[in-house]
Amino acid sequence: MASNEHSSLDNDQLHVPKDFSSASANTVLTKNGSNALTWADDNLRRMQHIRVAGHFSKSSTSEFAPTYAGGVTHTWDTVVTDSTADAQDAVAQAQLYATRAGYVNAFQGVIACTSGKTINLKVYKGTPADASAAAIDLTQLGATASEIGGGNTNVDIFAAGSMGSSASFAAGDIIIVTISAGNTDATVARFNGTLEIVYTD
């Protein structure tokens, strides 16, 4: 048997896999559909999915978010302003506190809404300060998702456009989703969506 078996080599004598030097950052070596080795995006291990769902019933064009109360977030009835009313909004309204930098890759889902009424859904980021009561400036990420309701028993699919790497956030940011009616007519909506987050560090 050979005296220089690969398993017995010291670490400094081992080489990295084929094409490692030309592979992009945050990729993994995998076997593709053609049975060839390739370096592919490692989004799967850097991705998080967050459910965002609730009930909305308003006659107002203000933007609303849920308020955490006893673990219940079903009703979206707290007004979100930019800047936020105060720093407590980071606690009460955010769907995510980011521990790492990344971007919102997608926000989409299903919604049932009062017939003929427009509903708007938006995603924002903001940066709360430690030990501060200061309001938080918000920046919209991506485009507004708008749907015209087909009735409370009809399902529409919504998606916010312009998401991806340009919809970025930093570690320490919060992510807030809001919902609003298109006009001041009575509007009822129920929705169930997903925020797809990709971390970059």
Q: What is the DSSP string of 85-114?
A: SSTHHHHHT-SEE-SS-EEEEEEEEEEEE-
pLDDT at 147: 97
Q: Which domains does the chain have, with CATH numbers?
A: 6-41 (no CATH), 45-199 (2.60.120)
pLDDT at 86: 83
Contact 64, 80 (CB under 8 A): yes
pLDDT at 73: 58
pLDDT at 14: 72
Give the Cβ contact number of residue 134 at 10 Å.
11
Give the mean pLDDT per block of 10 residues along the chain (201 residues): 68 76 76 82 79 94 82 79 85 90 97 97 96 94 97 94 97 96 96 95 80
Cα–Cα distance, 187 to 190 (Å, whole number): 10
Strand pairing report for 151-159 and 102-113: antiparallel
pLDDT at 43: 64
Contact 136, 56 (CB under 8 A): no
